[in-house]
Structure 1
Amino acid sequence: MAEKSSQNYGQKLISLFALLWFTGKKYSLKELSQRLKCSKQTVSRLVKDIQAAWGITIKEYTSERQKYFYIERPEGIRPELCLSEMELMVLHMCRAFARHLLGDKQFDETTMALLKNQILLPGTKMSLPQHFDSFLPGTIDYTPYQETIHTLIEAMEERKICRITYQAIRSENPKTFYIQPLKMFSRQDTIYLHARKVPSPEEPYEHPEYDPLLVVHRINKIEKTEEKFEFPQDYDFEKLFNKQFGVIKKEPFRVEVKLTGWSARFAVERIWSPDQEIKKRKDGSVILSFTSSSEKELISWLLSFRDEARLIRPEWLVKKVAEIVENLHRSYSN
């Protein structure tokens, strides 16, 4: 059974026409059913409706017991696309890898934009989008949050202060406050918003210790106000977020960890912090040291390596990790 789509029948009609027209490819009935997330019977009905409504001839043939559809486009002079085939291929790859972050609507819009441009490639060889995909289990479906994302994009572009209602994961009730939206970014399949809090006309203002780091899917409500703000000249995303381990930014501290087995090989393949140092030992283990700004994230990262990672310093954190491990042992012993 085909996966259920968020598109209505009219949207599927346009999507099918755009796919056949702009790519010039031959698609099997099964492939169209999967792409449009509908039954094969619905695809056949869409084909008939396109031909009846727009007078477009959609040709079909059967090969190896599979039915195929395509549109023969009239040859003519077309403007050439100022992209190489490899550049367009890379865009297809980026689109596929960001599928779960885009949500259904933006993913479909991105797909159509690429397909419309694909037809303008000089020559007959086409970049094909089916080479790439995303692994989705455990990810967040951002389809229900498209309106929030669009509002944030508009607010950042127009430099408008926003009034938001936000449900923090550790709070029982949502809170409403005003922000200057500064930057959206993704990390580990989650979209974040970094903002600066501004005084609320509705209640006394308390200056936060840190600028708000908000998870986009926990924004319950967002409204753009008419009040504009100046983008802070001292804002430096690279300096704030890409200089230490951890998306949560508190007082940084130096970490030293011993890793063995596959964990050692896994760890040295990655950059955990730009200032990391790796010392390889004769027994195959490594000593990894770097700067972290988040205690909770560091502990989660450390425990993900099970018994193949041992925290050496800082000592105050070694004691906390030992308590957590002891509590885990008691929990499973019972």
Structure 2
Amino acid sequence: MKKKQKVERDQAARAIKLFAKLLFAGRPHSLTELAKTLRCSKQTILRLVDVIENSYSVYVELSKKGNRNYYQIKKNQRLPTLNLTESELRTLFICSVFSKHLLGNDFFDEATRALEKSIAHLPRQKEFSPELYGVFAPGSIDYTPHQKTMRLLATAMENKKVCKLTYRNLVEAGSKTFYIKPLKIFSSKDTVYLHAQMAKAPGKKYMEPEFDPLLAIHRIKKIEVTGRVFEFPEDYDFEKVFNRNFGIIKEETFKVTVEFSGSAGAYVLERIWSPDQKIVKKRNGNLQLTFSASSEPETIAWILSFGKSAELIKPRKLVKKIKIELKTMVDLYRFSDNYRF
């Protein structure tokens, strides 16, 4: 009986989430996208659409683009009045504070004003204060000067417009100008990135790049949203590209095995490093982690960050590279005037 009640509660919760997404997002969503967002099958989404139409007496509009079905509730229908709950408002306040250092003061102030307007619709007066939450962010980037760039990119993505960018690479002295199709803005380790596809430069022959551009937004020096429209790739899957393995740089995937000792093992155990990871507790109390990675430099830097508490076991070629790195580090201090071995 309890299991049946839990299934019914889960279905009701999904129906509410689906209703809110179809109504408030302001755009149609593909069946594939909705299934991923709600973590359920496409068949479940179709059943929930029927539930929404029968329960709320609204029409969920179906449209087609290519071979995909898209769903949306148009706002010109007679719809029930829905206010944010206390729990939803509290969650949004927490999210806005946790992302303030990534988005900057202007975005945070806008989010706070929007939330404060919603408080007035609660059935009774309730206080929500962002002062209750905070972020410890040493070494973070100040994104305040880059908010115009993010707003222009957001507009370009919504309208599927090609952008002309001037970009400064981290390892190159000068800047380069090129055209891109902006696909997704995302954050990783307190840095905001743009994942895009290259677009043809006017009057020039298009050359297919080896990799799609992955751009740090704070290194975009200039942006211009052009009038050229692009088709969003139907097979684009951000989760499949980025959240399948360790490393923001996406090269050939390889398996990594690392043994951790002491508190490092407890730290690693609390986190997911790749969806296919395997963790084994050794007899000596150490923890052995095996996971998938796609970036050798990031993997080496991550392992070295644990100091003597982490030992790389595999792959052997990466072990050799770490030995070279460690020898270089030792030599750096051995010949320093400040250190004597």
Question: TM class by shorter-chain length?
Answer: 0.7 to 0.9
Q: CA deviation at 1:130?
A: 2.0
Contact 2:163–2:225 (8 Å) recurs in 1? yes
Question: Which secondary structure does the structure 1 equivalent of 2:312 belong to?
Answer: strand
Given that 2:184 and 2:196 are in contact with CA atoms closer than 8 Å, whether structure 1 keeps it comes out as: yes
AA in 2 matched with 1:107: F
Give the number of the structure whose alpha-carbon radius of gyration is greater: 1
Tell me how far apart the structure 1 counterparts of residues 334 and 287 of structure 2 sit (CA, whole Å): 31
1:213 aligns with 2:217: no
Instruction: Identify the residue that residue 8 of structure 1 maps to in structure 2.
Output: none
One-letter amino acid matched to 2:169: A
Bigger Cα displacement from structure 2, 202-211 vs 147-156: 202-211
State the secondary structure of the residue aligned to 1:88. Answer: helix
Deviation for aligned residue 1:203: 4.3
Query: Do the aligned partners of residues 81 and 114 (structure 1) sit closer, same or farther apart at CA in structure 2, a change above 3 Å counting?
Result: farther
The residue type paired with residue 157 of structure 2 is M
Letter in 2 for 1:289: T
Equivalent residue number for residue 18 of structure 1: none
Alignment match, 1:89: 90
Q: Which residue of 2 aligns with 1:225?
A: 226
Equivalence for 2:278: 277
Between 1 and 2, higher relative CO (CA 8 Å, sep ≥ 6) is seen in 1
Q: Secondary structure at the match of 1:184?
A: strand
Contact 1:86 1:127 in 2 (8 A): no
Distance of 2:324 and 2:191 partners within structure 1: 29
Change (3 A) 1:182 1:241: same
Conserved? CA contact 2:164–2:179, under 8 Å: yes
Structure 1: stretches of 5+ with no match in the other structure: 1-79
Cα contact 2:166–2:223 (8 A) shared by 1: yes
Give the TM-score taking structure 2 as reference length: 0.73
For 1:119, the equivalent position in structure 2 comes to 120
Read off the aligned partner of 1:327 and give its amino acid letter.
T
Cα deviation digits, residues 100-147 of structure 1 (max 9, x gap): 112111111111111111122111333332211122321111110011
- Once the two structures are aligned, what percentage of the paired residues are identical? 49
Aligned residue identity for 2:266? R
Residue 162 of structure 2 corresponds to which residue in structure 1? 161
Partner of 1:137: 138
| Structure 2 SS opposite 1:283 | coil
Gaps of 5+ in 2: 1-80, 336-341
8 Å CA contact 1:164–1:178 kept in 2: the answer is yes
Give the TM-score taking structure 1 as reference length: 0.74
Determine the structure 2 residue equivalent to 1:319: 320
> Do the aligned partners of 2:83 and 2:118 also contact (CA within 8 Å) in 1?
no
Q: Check conservation: 2:258, 2:314, Cα contact below 8 A.
A: yes
SS at match of 1:144: helix
Q: How many Å separate the matches in 1 of 2:103 and 2:82?
A: 25
Paired position in structure 1 for 2:150? 149
Secondary structure of the residue aligned to 1:149 is: helix
User: What amino acid is aligned across from residue 261 of structure 2 in structure 1?
Assistant: T
Deviation at 1:204, TM superposition (A): 4.5
Q: Give the Å deviation of 1:198.
A: 1.6
- SS of 1:182's equivalent in the other structure is strand
| Matched-pair contact (CA < 8 Å) for 1:263–1:309 | yes
Q: Distance in 2 between matches of 1:130 and 1:115?
A: 14
Deviations for 1:295-328, whole angstroms, at most 9, x for unmatched residues? 1110110000001111111111110010000111
Q: Could you tell me how far 1:178 is from its partner in structure 2?
A: 0.5
Task: Tell me which amino acid in the other structure corresponds to 1:89.
Answer: R
Residue 51 of structure 1 corresponds to none
Trace 1:29-48 onto structure 2 (pairs within 5 A): none
Question: What residue identity is the alignment partner of 2:176?
Answer: K
Amino acid at match of 1:323: I
**SS in structure 1 of the partner of residue 195 of structure 2:** strand
> What RMSD, in angstroms, separates the aligned Cα atoms of the two structures?
1.5
What do the CA deviations read for 1:45-89 (whole angstroms, capped 9, x no partner)? xxxxxxxxxxxxxxxxxxxxxxxxxxxxxxxxxxx8612111100
Deviation at 1:171, TM superposition (A): 0.9
Q: Which amino acid aligns with 1:258?
A: E
Query: Secondary structure of 1:272's match?
Result: coil
In the other structure, the counterpart of 1:176 is 177
